[in-house]
Amino acid sequence: MKTIHIRQSFLGERSHELFTGVRIGVVGLGGGGSHIAQQSAYLGIGHFAFFDPDFLDFPNLNRTVGATLADANAKTPKVAVAERVVKSVNSDAEVWAIQTEWQKDFDSLRACDAVFGCLDGFSQRAQLEESCRRAMIPLIDIGMDVHKGDPYSISGQVVVSMPGLPCFRCVGFIRAKDLDEEGRRYGVAGGNPQVVWSNGVLASTAMGIFVQMLAPWCPIRSGSRFIGYDGDGFTLEHDSRLTVASQTQCTHFTSISDLGDPFWNP
Amino acid sequence: MNVHFKLTVALLGGIVADLRRPHPFAAERAGFIGCKVSRCRDGLLVLAHTYMPLPDDWYADDQRFGCVFNSHAMRAAMQFALTNDASMFHVHLHDHKGFPWFSRPDIRESARYVPDFWNVKPMLPHGTLVLSADAAAGLCWYPEINKPIRISRITAVGFPIRFLGGSF
């Protein structure tokens, strides 16, 4: 184990080997994804696939970890900012900085051992989950919202979609009516309010779940994770919908045809 | 080519539990795993879905080997491949700790029957796995490549993720 990781040796003798050997995907390198990239680098993850078509701009500077004023001026690609952050901690890391929509590079996504979804919108999340399920990749989704009202309210969630276990639909995280509503509002959403601290809470929680998945430091309960974040009361709690869903089998990704490449050709 | 074989922790548990059951006369049990495949940036994914245990009377009583299955087993596995457009992987267990490997008869026999799956699914890779109590190894026959490829990574996906063999 390298000296740099000696303080996390409680994660197990093989933890460093595991971290350097895996590839994580991060889809969306904005407020949430930039935290994930930074923490993964400190953890010692060795291989990365970053997906984001966007450039860094001034409205992103309030929450994108590692971004600078110069990046906003130069319109640096967000994946390039994340790559720079990772390489500044671990120059040996292999980074695929993919400046395009993740749907345009399935081959890179499928090469990941775990994926962090840091996307806006239910439709994108549903698509990403389906793609991850096809390649049997655990997906850890994070997201937050600032709800406009009187007063404002902050909430969010960390949800894990683990192959073989209840999916986002099973636990009620993605519902048909949310997808319909989103479809109706398509193109008029505008920029939602986002803040750095709640993204940090959610990303840190997601990273803890990922580490527990890879190198558990204590006995862990099997099953999925659906953790709700109350950004007004500063609490994280297991969502009760998962308690119900975890008693059942996933009913959405069960068939053998839900796996693999539907257009396979050697 | 990198070949990455994945299965869920639950499926692995079910397979090991079946393979550990004593048989009336065979020293080992075997089964087949129906899989789908996908390309990925650094190679091939083989994604396990369905385990086909072999009923007791599908074994042949041949004391020279730990396990010999009869034509019913191959017929059922080939039918599964055909019906589900599936890759088929034979699986058996060497119930010790540490990395397992195939015996000489394992390699000789699998080189005979695994390519038979190309008779029903010629465009798909097929193969064989050997499990131990805490690890695994495998060989994959890829279309139009005569020699089997050693599976470079075997992962049981779940809480926790278990890297059973290959590059870990």
DSSP-derived secondary structure for A187-223: T---PPP--HHHHHHHHHHHHHHHHHHHS-SS----S
Fold classification of B3-166 is Cytidine Deaminase; domain 2 (3.40.140)
Compute the average pLDDT of residues A193-210: 95
Compute the average pLDDT of residues B78-100: 97
pLDDT of residue A190: 56
Which domain does A14 fall in, by range?
3-258
The angle at the Cα of A240, spanning A234 to A244, to the nearest 5 degrees, equals: 165
State the pLDDT confidence band at A247, using cuts at 50, 70 and 90: low
pLDDT of residue B168: 54
Model confidence at A187: pLDDT above 60: no
Compute the average pLDDT of residues A117-142: 96
Closest Cα in chain B to A213: B160
Residues of A in contact with B38 (CB under 8 A): 110, 134-135, 259-261, 264
Q: Are A133 and A106 spatial neighbours (Cβ–Cβ below 8 Å)?
A: no
What CATH number is associated with residue A221? Answer: 3.40.50.720
> A-B interface: how many C-beta pairs under 8 angstroms?
106
Closest Cα in chain B to A49: B41
Residues of A in contact with B8 (CB under 8 A): 136, 163-164
Within 8 A by CB and 6+ apart from A245, the residues are A166, A170, A171, A172, A224
pLDDT of residue B10: 94
From the list B11, B34, B41, which residue is nearest A111 (CB)? B41
The angle at the Cα of A63, spanning A61 to A69, to the nearest 5 degrees, equals: 20
- Check CB contact under 8 Å for B49 and A256: yes
Q: Are A24 and A116 spatial neighbours (Cβ–Cβ below 8 Å)?
A: yes
Whole-Å CA distances, A181 to A125, B82, B131: 15, 41, 48
Model confidence at A191: pLDDT above 80: no
Compute the average pLDDT of residues A88-116: 97
Q: What is the pLDDT of residues B41-82, one digit of tens each?
A: 999 999 999 999 999 999 988 888 888 899 999 999 999 999
Compute the average pLDDT of residues A170-179: 88
Compute the average pLDDT of residues A78-100: 98
Residues of B in contact with A213 (CB under 8 A): 159-161
Closest CA of chain B from A145, distance in Å: 28
Closest CA of chain A from B129, distance in Å: 19
Q: Tell me if A142 is assigned to some domain.
A: yes
- Provide the CA A111 distance to its chain's centre, in angstroms: 16
Residues of B in contact with A165 (CB under 8 A): 158
Q: What is the mean pLDDT of chain A?
A: 92
State the pLDDT confidence band at A97, using cuts at 50, 70 and 90: very high
Q: Tell me if A264 is assigned to some domain.
A: no
pLDDT of residue A93: 98
Model confidence at A223: pLDDT above 90: no
How many domains does chain A contain in total? 1
pLDDT of residue A178: 84
Model confidence at A189: pLDDT above 60: no
Q: Could you give the CA distance from residue A219 to residue A204 in angstroms, rounded to a whole number?
A: 20
Closest Cα in chain B to A222: B159
Closest Cα in chain B to A96: B41
Q: Tell me if A20 is assigned to some domain.
A: yes
State the pLDDT confidence band at A219, using cuts at 50, 70 and 90: confident
Q: Tell me if A263 is assigned to some domain.
A: no
pLDDT of residue A26: 98
State the pLDDT confidence band at A186, using cuts at 50, 70 and 90: low
pLDDT of residue B167: 58
- Check CB contact under 8 Å for B159 and A96: no
Model confidence at A184: pLDDT above 90: no
Q: pLDDT over 70 for what percent of chain A? A: 95
pLDDT of residue A266: 86
From the list B6, B39, B43, which residue is nearest A136 (CB)? B6
- Check CB contact under 8 Å for B160 and A164: no
Q: pLDDT over 90 for what percent of chain A? A: 75
> Which of B15, B38, B82 to mutate to probe the A interface, most A CBs <10 Å?
B38
Compute the average pLDDT of residues A48-74: 97
Q: Tell me if A265 is assigned to some domain.
A: no
Compute the average pLDDT of residues B94-118: 95
State the pLDDT confidence band at A222, using cuts at 50, 70 and 90: low
Compute the average pLDDT of residues A72-77: 98
Model confidence at B104: pLDDT above 90: yes
